[in-house]
Structure 1
Amino acid sequence: MTRRRRPLSPEERELWTRVAASARPMRTTPAKSAEAEANPPPKKPHPAPSSFHIGQSARSLTAPHDLVPASEDRLAAQPLRMNRRTHQQMQRGKLKPEGRIDLHGMTVAEAHPELVRFLMNAQSAGKRMVLVITGKGKGKVKDDHGPIPQRIGVLRHQLPHWLGQPPLSNVVLQVAPAHLKHGGGGAFYIYLRRA
């Protein structure tokens, strides 16, 4: 059984026209027509890669395994424990070292006790800044890129470790790479605490 629709009265029609005029559409974009849905625009094909090689973005296997940062990086990262003006003068090579020790040609076993003896005697003598020359290492040996790399300049890389351990950690106030006129990358300024 189908129901017949009754016709709207003039009052209902007038009410409906007022409601329809005050209504705002929910969708601001026009609805897609049935024709547009039936015929979607063609998709653009992906461009083929010009020259792709498997592993092209992988890192080289010959890259060094830097497990420990360089001594210059470690020294630059340490906090400043001395007067800023004196530290700047020291880095610019304007302060004259009051003593120096040259560790060239020594092994690690020979150099460590010599360094401890020298720094302890320098502090007891009232010296404030000394120069420790470690050298840059032999030029014949190249950096080893193996699983356990050996660095050039073993003494240069060991010096910050030695200075951070007792008894030298109580003696040393600040360490900085030396200026070029005092040896550059193969030497270090060591500023000592007062005795």
Structure 2
Amino acid sequence: MAGRRLSAEERTLWARLAQSVRPYRTDASISTPEVASAPPPKMATHSLTHSPVLPLHPQPARRPAAVLDDRWEKQIKRGALAPEMAIDLHGHSLSAAHVRLNQALASARGQDVRILLVVTGKPRANRENGGSGQRGAIRAEINHWLDTSPHADAIASVRSAHPRHGGDGALYIILRRKK
């Protein structure tokens, strides 16, 4: 839409928006589009001018570790971990599973749980080997869900479960200790 002129209504809306915004810095290099020289419209009492300002350089998110210390690694390998809480997601739709996962993480954090067992179902079968391609949808999405979760900073590690806890069809989510 380059080169298109704003309508009178769009110019009025732009002027209203421009008045509600507070710049991060006042450089001469920052410019705003020219707006018709009409008196500024009255603003509603709930303007955006009092919204909190986010830091320019947010802290990097803490990522789950691929490998934990030797004690954890030995326990995972031997199947000696005892999950304190478990949730079974297989059989649910993707949206329902996503909601249940976030609820389980919130509950686990609230109860100071360190090891959450998440049953997802077996990973997607390879189509060339006769797999239907319908299996493993939750397993395919769960890492993305965990990365974008509001609880992502509390996750120390995500590991495949030992066969006694579901093997490839389940994950251990190891949560960080509360500070």
TM-score bracket, normalised by the shorter chain, equals 0.5 to 0.7
- Tell me the CA shift for residue 104 of structure 1: 1.8
Q: How many residues align?
A: 112
CA distance 1:179–1:167, shift in 2 (3 Å) = same
- For the 8 Å contact 2:65–2:156, the answer to whether it is kept is no
- TM-score under structure 2 normalisation? 0.55
Gaps of 5+ in 1: 1-77
- CA–CA distance in 1 between the matches of 2:76 and 2:142? 18
- 1:123 aligned partner: 109
Gaps of 5+ in 2: 1-63
- TM-score under structure 1 normalisation? 0.51
CA distance 1:164–1:84, shift in 2 (3 Å) = farther
- For the 8 Å contact 2:67–2:73, the answer to whether it is kept is no
- CA–CA distance in 2 between the matches of 1:125 and 1:179? 24
The letter for the 2-side match of 1:187 is A
Residue 189 in structure 1 maps to residue 172 in structure 2:
yes
Cα deviation digits, residues 134-179 of structure 1 (max 9, x gap):
01168xxx6447xxx9563011111111111131311211011000
CA RMSD of aligned residues (A): 2.4
Q: Secondary structure at the match of 1:130?
A: strand
Matches within 5 A, 1:107-118: 107-118=93-104
The letter for the 1-side match of 2:147 is G
- CA–CA distance in 1 between the matches of 2:95 and 2:149? 16
Find the structure with the greater CA-based Rg. Answer: 1
- For the 8 Å contact 2:102–2:149, the answer to whether it is kept is no
- 1:163 aligned partner: 146
- For the 8 Å contact 2:66–2:158, the answer to whether it is kept is no
Matches within 5 A, 1:129-148: 129-136=115-122, 143-144=126-127
Residue 93 in structure 1 maps to residue 108 in structure 2:
no
Cα deviation digits, residues 44-82 of structure 1 (max 9, x gap):
xxxxxxxxxxxxxxxxxxxxxxxxxxxxxxxxxx74464
Identity level (%): 38
CA distance 1:116–1:91, shift in 2 (3 Å) = farther
